[in-house]
């Protein structure tokens, strides 16, 4: 017992010497984990990064490409005779593209629900959820369209047109926010994707505006000085003179006029 009391002053330092490496190692691990938690919490694994890319491509192709192409196609019917074969072909092509777009959008939605942590604490996820719902509402509205000539046709078209416009604008915003989220979560550059999408939006917007002005642009070339010029595939009546041409209204022709008639 006396020997134990004599060794006690040496035992305490020895205790610390023996346990110090383990305490230091544990403290180092805690600090390391804390740094990884604060710095790398938002980093994605390679598999998750791959899933994010697939999700983005699906939504880009469906809502960012197929849907606006379908809109441009249906607007071509404004210059066709109602009930003609070309109008029917344009309509069915529009329906096929929009249906395919809705299916791809659904695949992207299912993937995001299964693969990602959907806390809905950021604008990208909230807007994305709203777009998923709006796409299927739009599909149902398009499916239950009234026949031409009914009173409900005008209200139906207004709702269909307005909802499609809102979805298109929301898609553009959400794709840009999705690219921004991808940059933050992966620390990778997305400059190429941003440039490509901006170029696509610019081209589609130009074509959309050109469709409204195409008929008007063609009419600008009817009279050149005092010599009337015949447009391709059209005949100008001989009784129509220069004065009458200037008096002829040249309002722009769009899908609204054709579908409201």
Token pair, residue 96, equals 């096929």
Domain ranges of the chain: 44-223
What is the rounded distance in angstroms from the CA atom of residue 112 to the CA atom of residue 139? 21
The Cβ of residue 65 has, within 10 Å, a number of other Cβ atoms equal to 18
pLDDT in tens, 201-259: 999 999 999 988 877 777 776 554 454 555 555 444 544 444 444 444 444 445 444 54
pLDDT in tens, 89-129: 998 999 999 999 999 999 998 988 888 877 778 889 899 99
Strand-pair partners of 227: 224
- The CATH architecture one would assign to domain 44-223 is Up-down Bundle (1.20)
Strand-pair partners of 223: 228
Answer yes or no: pTM beyond 0.85.
Answer: no
What is the rounded distance in angstroms from the CA atom of residue 101 to the CA atom of residue 58? 9
- The secondary structure element, H or E, covering residue 53 is helix 46-61
- The answer to whether residue 147 scores a pLDDT higher than 80 is yes
Which segments within 148-215 are labelled E, that is strand? none
What is the rounded distance in angstroms from the CA atom of residue 257 to the CA atom of residue 255? 6
């Amino acid at each position: 017992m006396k020997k134990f009391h004599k060794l006690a002053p040496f035992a305490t330092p020895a205790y610390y010497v023996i346990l110090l490496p383990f305490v230091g190692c544990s403290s180092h691990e805690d600090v390391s984990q804390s740094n990884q938690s604060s710095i790398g919490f938002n980093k994605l694994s390679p598999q998750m990064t791959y899933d994010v890319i697939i999700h983005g491509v699906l939504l880009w192709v469906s809502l960012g490409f197929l849907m606006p192409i379908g809109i441009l196609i249906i607007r071509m019917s404004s210059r066709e005779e109602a009930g003609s074969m070309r109008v029917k072909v344009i309509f069915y092509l529009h329906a096929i593209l929009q249906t395919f777009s809705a299916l791809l959008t659904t695949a992207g939605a299912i993937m995001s629900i299964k693969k990602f942590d959907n806390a809905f604490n950021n604008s990208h996820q909230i807007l994305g959820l709203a777009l998923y719902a709006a796409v299927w509402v739009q599909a149902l509205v398009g499916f239950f369209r009234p026949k031409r000539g009914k009173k409900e046709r005008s209200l139906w078209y207004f709702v269909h047109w307005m909802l499609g416009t809102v979805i298109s604008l929301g898609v553009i915003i959400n794709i840009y926010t999705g690219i921004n989220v991808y940059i933050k979560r992966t620390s990778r550059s997305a400059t190429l994707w941003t440039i490509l999408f901006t170029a696509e939006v610019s081209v589609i917007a130009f074509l959309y505006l050109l469709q409204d002005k195409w008929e008007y642009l063609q009419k600008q070339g009817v009279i050149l000085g005092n010599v009337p010029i015949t447009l391709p595939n059209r005949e100008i009546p001989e009784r129509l003179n220069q004065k009458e041409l200037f008096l002829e209204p040249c309002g722009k022709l769009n899908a609204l006029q054709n579908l409201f008639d």
